[in-house]
Homo-oligomer: A and B are copies of this chain.
């Protein structure tokens, strides 16, 4: 799957992943109204609204980008109906041949991580049958529990030709509270980066030079990204924090390798709620999907300029 992701990045010339993190406040009024008219102001109504909202965005951008990253929390908050909307979104994006990165940040002790890996990337056995649960292409994983929590994921990835992105240095303001603490003179995120590179070395696909064990490093920490890029030369970096969280195109160049690959930049509300920005206000709520398309094209241009200028 990492090779498919790379091929699609090259074909679209867009190292961009669109974060499908629907909040109700992003969903245009006409979509909310239609969903509530059918299901009432219920969890089912909310789930229908976010699903229709997602579908509009996906239809508008699927030819421009290689991948999407639904953040499961935004669905999970609506309980079971929300999880059904998550699954519908994953399936629809795969139909559109988008690579789907499930932003689930799971991670637990061995047998439990195995269940998460099976549920999100692999197949679960039921009697003599087996079934995919959520069936994303990649999942994000939290490494606080160490190798025990990672290995079950890499095992499933190997079997299924899928991949993971392990949290190394997250984009949020307080990420340094633990991740920046010095251990033998080096911050925890560097140790984590080295570990990810080690896990990844055992997880190279048959061809290509990037491992299917990737890393998450926030765009909001470009200096740290520069160091981590060098520490993990064969690791693909998923970079959240562009746009709404403050990361800019120029901040991103160090996340890429000399080959112009090695990073994929996420933008969520900057794209999916573009119509709420002044810059794209002319599209209005009815034109929210076109606004998203315009925002993707602008982001592509911003990144290309930054990469060309280096």
Q: Give residues in A with beta carbon < 8 Å to B.
A: 21, 23-24, 32, 36, 41-43, 45-46, 71, 73-74, 76-80, 82-84, 87, 105-113, 115-116, 118-120, 124-129, 131-134, 142-149, 167, 170-179, 181-184, 188, 191-192, 195, 240
Residues of B within 8 Å of A107, CB to CB, are 105, 142
Partner of A76, one of B111, B119, B129, B131: B119
Whether B181 contacts A191 by the Cβ 8 Å rule is: yes
- Minimum distance in angstroms from A8 CB to a CB of chain B: 25
Q: With A74-B115, A119-B82 in contact, do A143 and B146 touch (Cβ < 8 Å)?
A: no
Whether A177 contacts B131 by the Cβ 8 Å rule is: no
Q: With A127-B32, A171-B109 in contact, do A132 and B79 touch (Cβ < 8 Å)?
A: yes
Please report the C-alpha to C-alpha distance between residue A144 and residue B149 in the assembled complex, in whole angstroms. 14
Please report the C-alpha to C-alpha distance between residue A306 and residue B275 in the assembled complex, in whole angstroms. 63
Partner of A145, one of B124, B149, B174: B174
**22 sampled A-B residue pairs with Cβ under 8 A:** A43-B126, A43-B131, A71-B112, A73-B115, A73-B116, A76-B120, A76-B133, A77-B133, A78-B133, A79-B132, A79-B133, A79-B134, A142-B142, A142-B144, A143-B178, A144-B179, A145-B174, A146-B179, A148-B174, A148-B175, A177-B195, A178-B192
